[in-house]
Structures are given as C-alpha cells and as structure tokens.
Structure 1
Amino acid sequence: MNKTRIVAIVGPTAVGKSQLALELAVRINAEIISADSMQVYRYLDIGTAKPTPDEQKKVKHHLIDILYPDEEFSAALFRQEAGEAISNVDGQGKVAIVAGGTGLYIKALTGGLFKGPGADQELRRVLKKKAVLAGNDCLYRELSELDPVTAARLHPNDSSRIIRAIEVCRLTKKPLSEYHEKHSFKDSPFDTFKIGLYIDRQDIYSRIEKRVDRMIAIGLVDEVKCLLDMGYTRDLNSMQGLGYKQITGYLLGEFSLDEAMLQVKQGTKKYAKRQMTWFRADPEINWYGYPYDYSRIIQKTKEFLEA
C-alpha cells in the first residue's frame, strides 16, 4: 500500500520554521499542521509565537487553539489528531506540512510510539502533589537519577512527560530511554520528507533575545494576567510553558520583570540547545543552513512529492 507523502519542517525555536512553512505551503498547495505542544492551547498566543490571524487566513493551519489551558495533551493525542488532519488534507488533494519544534510529536507521527505500561493514577497523583509542594525541579532531579538520558532531552518544567518517565521507571524497573532505544520507530503510515533548519548558535541566541523582548512589547504580561484572571493556575502544564511560568512569577511579586525576562531568555536558549540535540540524532532530516535557499528547498520538496 502506498503511504501518504507529507513534509515535516523541524529545528530549534526562532529558527524560521513557520515562515518557511507558509512560503512552501503557498508553492505546493499545502496546509500546515502545527507540531507545537503549546500552540494547541486557546488564549496562549503571544508566548507561543502562534501564527497570526492573517497568516492563518493565508494558509489553513491545524492543531492550533484546539484545547483550553486546563486540558491535557500528549504525543499520543497529537499522533491521533495530526493523523486525522493529514487524512483530511490528503483527501482534498493537498499536501500536509507538519511544522514545529516538539521533537517527540514529530517522532510519534512519523515513527510511532513506545507502548509502555498503563497509567498508574495513584502514582501520578502522588508525583503531581510532590511537584506542587516541592517544585518541578524535585521531580526533574529524581528523573535525572533514574533515567539521565531521558532527563537530558526534557525541559525541567515539562512535568507531564517527567511524571510519565518516572512512572515507567518505577513500574517496569527500566528507564524509558532503554525502551526507546529498542523501539524501531518505523510504525508510520506516512512517507515523510524532513526538512531541518539551523542557524549559528550565537545567531539563534540573538534571535531568541529579540523575540522575548518583542513578546513583552506586544503584551505578553497582559496575556498572562488575563489567563490568571480567568482562573487558570500556575500548576497547569500550559502555564508551566516558557514565558508563562516566569511572567506568572513576576505578576505574583516573586521577582522583577527584568528578572522574569532574563529567565525566559535563558530557558529558551537551553530549550533550543536540547531541540538541536534531539533533531541531530535523526538521520532522515535534510538540513539547510541560514541564509535559507528557499528555491532549492521548494525544488527538493517537489521532487520528493512527484517521485
């Protein structure tokens, strides 16, 4: 059976994935599927660098604003939702471009997921309570001891994935990374052309600093305040995201706005570094360095789709 051909655009934050996705979508008659774990949430717009209304009018986007901030999302749910979106796009005779920096989502979609033990709700309740009382850092340190490989690829604030990794370790007595190593991750109904974008480290850091400054300038503080006023609490996974956690701390009087901005910039730089480590491990990615040769990327994409 012929597999549906899709395009994936990956790379670290602020590298230019969204811009390329828009340009490519116009050229190859495509729609865009967001592979960003934060853009699924309504009301989280500025801090997630969500496509603007004009951009979403220009090209149809999927998996944006599909959940409220107090709802849970996962790689398994992403695979399901993205698969349905791809089927709909393909049914219209169009191409699906999956664009985003959440590496686990891309891996889940294009290579399948490790089917681990079922959820232990009592254990999860205990771990969530521990995170509330002692902070996410406490859980992250525990995971670092149990499974340093998995800990290295997760953000310390990514409590849901940290809890899942600890859960697997405790229930099976084996680290999650060991299961991932044994899994072939070839269980996919898609034939994927993977495009990776990269920029010199200092340049990406400069872009991140400018992006954070702009987010503050266009209203990130007010966006977070509105979320808090609506009753969305800081312990939610959505509110633990970069920018939202730190600005919440500022609004609650824990530190100054300058300190919050510094934390966002430092955290985002570390996140970008982890993203590159993740994507560099994928031999299927076709890498393009800045300045990007859009015409060459478009040509190679068309060759893949027409082969």
Structure 2
Amino acid sequence: MIITILGPTGTGKTTLSLELAKKYNAEIINADSTQIYKEMNIGTAKIKDFENITHHLINIKNLNEDYTIYQYQKEGREIIENLLKQNKNIIIVGGSGLYINALLYDYKLKEEENTIINKDIQTMHKELTNLGIDIHINNKQRIERLYKRHIINKEPIIKEKPKAIYDSIIIGLYENREILYENINKRTDEMLKEGLLEEVKELYNKYPDSKQLKSTIGYKELILYLNNTISLEEAIEKIKQNSRNYAKRQ
C-alpha cells in the first residue's frame, strides 16, 4: 500500500505521516525538496524525532552538492520498488508537487547538465510563456529547469496527461486560508525563536555559494539581511509573505 500526503505548508503533513506510519508499519519517503539537504533544519521545519520510523531521501545531500529532480525520481523509484518487493507499506509526504508527481507518474526525465544561463528570470519566464508554458515568475528553480529543457535543449512540450505508475491513496490536507496564513506567520515567529537567524548565519558562512541556501524561503530573505540589503524586520515580513505565496501554489 502506498499513501501520499500532500498539501500546503503548515497543515500537519508530518504529524499525520508519523501517525499513519505507526498504524500501518510503513516507511516514509520524503517529498520535500528542501529537506533533502543536511543542516537546513529550522527553516525547513524538518522533523526532529523520527520516532523509530525509517525515513528515506531526507538529510542525504550537503549544501554544496547539486541534486536534481531526475536523481530524486531515480532514487525514489528504486526505494519504492525495493519496499514493494518486501511487502512494505509506504508513505510519501511533502509539499513539493513536482517531486511527488515525478515518483507517481510516468514523467520521463533526463539527467540535467550544469548549463550556465546568462539571462535573468524575467526574460526566461517571458520566453517560456511564449511557448505556452504557464508558470509563476517566483518559481525560479522551475523556470531555470524548464528553460534548459525546452529552450536550450529544445525538448518538445508534451501536453498529454501523465499516467500513474503506482496505485496510491492520496490524502490532501487543506486549511481555511485565513487560518493557514495565521499559522504560517506564527510558525515563522517560532522558527526565529528556535534560532533560525543563527542557523542561516552559520550555513551562509560555511556555504556562501550554495544555490539551495540562496533560493529557499526562510534562508534567502535572512541572507539579504546579513548582506545589509534589507532590515531584519523586512526580512521577517518577506519570509511570511513568500511562505504565504508558496502555500497558495501548493
């Protein structure tokens, strides 16, 4: 049995995944793109206590290492196949819809090359829009990925609906928008009390060129503060705003 838990940030996906894993003696596969990386703990709301439940694809990469959706799909499907052969129950949990889809549907991904793109996000977004690709301009990583795929490598755009390759029970967690936004704001304040700023300082000193660090909500805003680009109050408000905007797209 495969259970997939999805939904916006701050809706209790992790708590539910632990409860179901205990009930069904299941192993958990992480589908949150930020929790793949070690040391990014507070700002990603990473689980603190695994409660003796086996978790996969979490804390597997350093912040100076690249990790693509292609690698995630390949490794994730190998884990799924191995667990199914052992008649193990599986719970996939996370807020990264692209990662969940890469596991469950027949998306044919290719290994990405480290191509340097000398164009800004606005230009890339416009070219993709002209191709009929609808994507939010704030989703910078996906814009770069799609630009490489369809503009640089000229891969065709496949508009056929992908087919599921695994049967999965889908559990979608949702919350009233006002309550969700209030929870996000509270969680941001709690992260700061837990030491988020100190975590960002330490990681930025250790990995000053980390693309992942500079693109993750909660980290990129505080890096702007550390670089004296904005005030701490502005950085905190940006974290809350960007988190709310991200929750809209999940």
- TM-score, normalisation: structure 2: 0.90
- Determine which of 125, 128, 137 is the counterpart of 1:147: 128
| Identical counterparts, % of pairs | 36
2: CA distance, partners of 1:120 / 1:257: 37
- Structure-2 change in CA distance of 1:220 and 1:192 (3 Å): same
- Structure-2 change in CA distance of 1:222 and 1:120 (3 Å): closer
Give the superposition deviation at 1:58: 3.6
Give the superposition deviation at 1:84: 2.4
Give the superposition deviation at 1:144: 2.6
Q: What residue in structure 2 maps to residue 96 of structure 1? A: 90
- Structure 2: which 5+ residue stretches go unaligned? none
- Structure 1: which 5+ residue stretches go unaligned? 131-137, 276-307
2:241 is the alignment partner of 1:271: no
Give the superposition deviation at 1:91: 4.3
2:17 is the alignment partner of 1:21: yes
2:212 is the alignment partner of 1:229: no
2:3 is the alignment partner of 1:7: yes
Supply the AA of the counterpart residue of 1:249: L
Supply the AA of the counterpart residue of 2:143: I
Q: What residue in structure 2 maps to residue 305 of structure 1? A: none
Q: What residue in structure 1 maps to residue 150 of structure 2? A: 169
- Structure-2 change in CA distance of 1:119 and 1:78 (3 Å): closer
Supply the AA of the counterpart residue of 2:145: R
Give the superposition deviation at 1:173: 5.7
Give the superposition deviation at 1:150: 4.3
Supply the AA of the counterpart residue of 1:110: L
Supply the AA of the counterpart residue of 1:192: S
2:61 is the alignment partner of 1:80: no
2:22 is the alignment partner of 1:45: no
SS in 1 for 2:36: coil
Supply the AA of the counterpart residue of 1:66: I
Higher helix share: 1
Q: What residue in structure 1 maps to residue 225 of structure 2? A: 250
- Structure-2 change in CA distance of 1:251 and 1:21 (3 Å): same
Give the superposition deviation at 1:154: 6.6
SS in 1 for 2:211: coil
- TM-score, normalisation: structure 1: 0.74
Q: What residue in structure 1 maps to residue 177 of structure 2? A: 201
**Contact 1:34–1:99 (CA under 8 A) maintained in structure 2:** yes
Give the superposition deviation at 1:32: 1.0
1: CA distance, partners of 2:196 / 2:38: 14
Give the superposition deviation at 1:152: 2.5
Aligned length: 248
SS in 2 for 1:215: helix
**Contact 1:69–1:239 (CA under 8 A) maintained in structure 2:** no
**Contact 2:135–2:143 (CA under 8 A) maintained in structure 1:** no
**Contact 2:70–2:112 (CA under 8 A) maintained in structure 1:** no
Give the superposition deviation at 1:46: 0.4
2: CA distance, partners of 1:199 / 1:10: 12
**Contact 1:151–1:162 (CA under 8 A) maintained in structure 2:** no
Give the superposition deviation at 1:157: 3.8
Supply the AA of the counterpart residue of 1:222: E
2: CA distance, partners of 1:213 / 1:85: 36
Give the superposition deviation at 1:187: 5.7
2:167 is the alignment partner of 1:191: yes
Q: What residue in structure 2 maps to residue 241 of structure 1? A: 216
**Contact 1:21–1:99 (CA under 8 A) maintained in structure 2:** yes
Residue by residue over 1:247-303, the C-alpha shift from the partner in whole angstroms, topping out at 9 and shown as x without a partner, is: 11111221111111100111111111111xxxxxxxxxxxxxxxxxxxxxxxxxxxx
2: CA distance, partners of 1:248 / 1:215: 15
SS in 2 for 1:198: coil
**Contact 1:17–1:197 (CA under 8 A) maintained in structure 2:** yes
- Structure-2 change in CA distance of 1:15 and 1:221 (3 Å): same
Supply the AA of the counterpart residue of 1:205: Y
